[in-house]
Structure 1
Amino acid sequence: MAAASRREGLSIRDIILVAVLLAAGAVLKLTVGSLLSSMGMKPNFIIAMYCLAIILVRPTVAQSLAIGLLAGLVCQVPMLNATPLLNIPSELLGALACGLLIKVPMRIGGKLDLNPLANTFVSTLVSGGAFAFLSVYINVMSTGGDLMVALAAYVAIVLGTAAFNAALVQVLAMPLKKVLER
């Protein structure tokens, strides 16, 4: 008897789920994100939604990178992006981190899976950190500004966004896994 065949690509159902979550992230970033912004912090629902998609779909690393590229391209919509093109490498790196971290078991007591929380927190730090570094390098270093001072200003923003995204994805992942039977 032949061994079980290995899944080669994402199913149509997986692709639709990724597309719906990225679209929801864009709409939430445009609407609710503006309402929740304070002290320079604005939740990045696109990062949260691609992390949720990767956690639910469990793609390969290459497929995770493709999801990150799509997320970066969605961020190029003018109303979603203040600095063109920076989201492409930052979302690629965030999705790469997420795609790698889905392999790490993080169950407590056999029931509570903390992978969505920890994975999304780290992935948002990677994405936000890359975006902050590139933004500061382009916008501050090119004008002779102080790199460390500018990066320090981003730390609170990135940490706040990471905490918000992690909590959101942890709350959404559990019921969605049950509904989607994953």
Structure 2
Amino acid sequence: MPTTMKKTLSATDIVLVGALLAAGAVLRVFCPPIFGITPNFVICMYVLAILIVRPSLAQALGIGIVAAAICHFTTKSMIPYINFISEPVGAVVTYFLVRGLSGLNRGRITFKPFIVTLLGTMASGLTYVSILKFAVLFVATAKNPAFLGLLTVILTTALANAVIAQLIYEPIMAALGKKTTSVKEAGK
């Protein structure tokens, strides 16, 4: 995997981003709630897309905006417009994590997909809940127990997305014929 970000995305990169976002949308729409929580698989997929194609900051922001549009139409939230802030924030955080984190390997396995997806999902979710809190939901009562419930949803979704990303990262990289950083380092 290259250590620098790309100035332009190839057609293959664009198709991969589109396919991952589409898969996230389908999973989000058709996955039944798990203990009352519908995971946001779109976040998982845009984080994976940023991990794999290594876009520029502007391109990562664009991926976040496209993900927001997808989330807007697949959400069960009462205020879907907040996605247009939370998903770009998640994508930008992911961009910086992909650039900044290294040494997350244990032998031939990289844990970067897990860590980056966990933190990217949390950034998106915490942004969403913070805006929701200040916009409407918690105006009347400062200690509304729904806030703790929403934090539980964020953490649960972040963990689920991180596990999924970790499990499918290597197979996607292999299917694309790309070697991961951990494989390159293990061969040295």
Q: Same fold (TM over 0.5)?
A: yes
Q: Indicate the residue corresponding to 2:129 in structure 1.
A: 132
Equivalent residue in structure 1 for 2:102, among 84, 101, 105 = 105
Deviation, structure 1 residue 81: 4.3
Query: What's the secondary structure of 2:72's corresponding residue?
Result: coil
| Residue 91 (structure 2) pairs with residue 117 (structure 1) | no
Does the aligned pair in 2 maintain the 1:136–1:147 contact within 8 Å?
A: no
Q: How does 1:165-180 map to 2 (within 5 A)?
A: 165-180=161-176
2:16 counterpart of 1:17: yes
Is 1:87–2:83 an aligned residue pair? yes
Measure how far apart 1:147 and its partner are.
Answer: 5.4
Provide the C-alpha distance between the structure 1 equivalents of 2:155 and 2:103, rounded to a whole number of angstroms. Answer: 21
Task: Give 1:66's aligned residue.
Answer: 62
How far off its partner does 1:51 sit? 0.7
The amino acid across from 2:105 in the alignment is I
In the alignment, the residues of structure 2 paired with residue 137 and residue 62 of structure 1 have an alpha-carbon distance, to the nearest angstrom, of: 28
Change (3 A) 1:101 1:138: same
Report the CA distance between 1:80 and its aligned residue.
2.6
CA contact under 8 A between 1:102 and 1:119: conserved in structure 2? Answer: yes
Deviations 1:81-128 (A, max 9, x none): 422211111001110111111121133244211110000000000001
Q: Which blocks of at least 5 consecutive residues in structure 2 are unaligned?
A: 179-188
1:135 is aligned with what amino acid?
L
Residue number in structure 2 paired with 1:159: 155
Q: How many residues align?
A: 172
Residue 36 to residue 152, structure 1, CA distance change in 2 (3 Å): closer
Partners of 2:138 and 2:144 within 8 A in 1: no
CA distance in 1, matches of 2:91, 2:143: 26
Query: How far apart in 1 are the matches of 2:25 and 2:106?
Result: 35
| CA positional deviation for 1:7 | 4.4
